[in-house]
Amino acid sequence: MAEYTKTIHAFRESLNSITESRPKVGVILGSGLSKIADSLSGETIDYSKIPEMPKPTVEGHRGFLKISRDFALLAGRFHYYEGHPIHDVVKPVLLLQALGVEQLLVTNAAGGINPDFSPGQIVLIRDHINLMGTNPLIGPDNGELGPRFPDMSDAYSRALRKRIIDTLDYPLTEGVYAGLSGPSYETPAEIRMLKQLGADMVGMSTVPEVIIANYLGIRTIGFSCITNMAAGILDQPLSHQEVIGTAARVENRFRSIVESVMELLTSE
């Protein structure tokens, strides 16, 4: 898409004056998971130093890029529910494309639909269902960045998933992620519907970024942190505090998984 070509060029220009690192692995961290960045070494660049990045809508959630020779990690997403145009939601992936990233790891917080899941569990995303009501590739396309009708049949690389499952010293389950716009959580009836549709977990992010990554030919992998059981599964209300609380509780385990996968991706 011409608009994305322009954005990628602009990112490239900005990055040229900011950093010399050109890593091959990109990471996008989800809600409540940014602390994972603290233990990694690298240069930290606030989003505000990168003019093409959208402005955060929540005060105090500034967002930053942490970059080293091996990886570029983005802490701070732009959610569709914040009112960002869908073309802005995917700018973190365009930034990674501008750096030349070839493999992407995305993480998110999600509500568990599959009754075998429990809060605190970390699930490898096998596939997604786009229920956001939009798609970041809507618009004129001149074919210079990717195909008009990108294949999504291996959106979460099967080969990389296999390597992760075979290599990691952690019992990983796979699941299908349903992406909705939010920001209201789902009703119990919506969760029953999503279950019938084949979803194992539900969230409000990731789908737009993964569509763009596939369009650009970036091999992608994703993890959901099950922060709560979805609406109606347990007889209790949902809250953002629960989401943040669970994410904080599993931070160390999540960090070690993310670090192992980053290492594995770097050696690909």
Binding residues for ligand HPA, rule: CB under 6 A, are 109-111, 185-186, 202-204, 227-228, 230, 238, 243
Indicate which residue of 1, 14, 31, 34 is catalytic.
Answer: 31
State the nearest-atom distance from the C-beta of 104 to ligand HPA, in Å: 20
Task: Determine whether 128 is an active site residue.
Answer: no
Place of tokens 């750096």: 99
- Closer Cβ to ligand HPA, 42 or 111, answer by number: 111
Q: Which residues contact 125 (CB under 8 A, 6 or more apart)?
A: 106, 156, 174, 175, 176, 177, 206, 221, 222, 223, 224
3-class secondary structure, 28: strand
- Closer Cβ to ligand HPA, 125 or 160, answer by number: 125
Q: Per the omega criterion (within 30 degrees of 0), is the bond before 183 cis?
A: yes
Q: List the beta strands (DSSP E) in the chain.
A: 25-29, 43-46, 64-67, 71-75, 103-112, 122-131, 173-180, 201-203, 219-229
State the nearest-atom distance from the C-beta of 29 to ligand HPA, in Å: 14
Indicate which residue of 1, 75, 204, 230 is catalytic.
Answer: 204
Task: Determine whether 81 is an active site residue.
Answer: yes
State the nearest-atom distance from the C-beta of 43 to ligand HPA, in Å: 30
Task: Determine whether 240 is an active site residue.
Answer: yes
Task: Determine whether 228 is an active site residue.
Answer: yes
Task: Determine whether 34 is an active site residue.
Answer: no
Task: Determine whether 31 is an active site residue.
Answer: yes
What residues are annotated to the active site?
31, 61, 79, 81-82, 109, 204-205, 228, 240
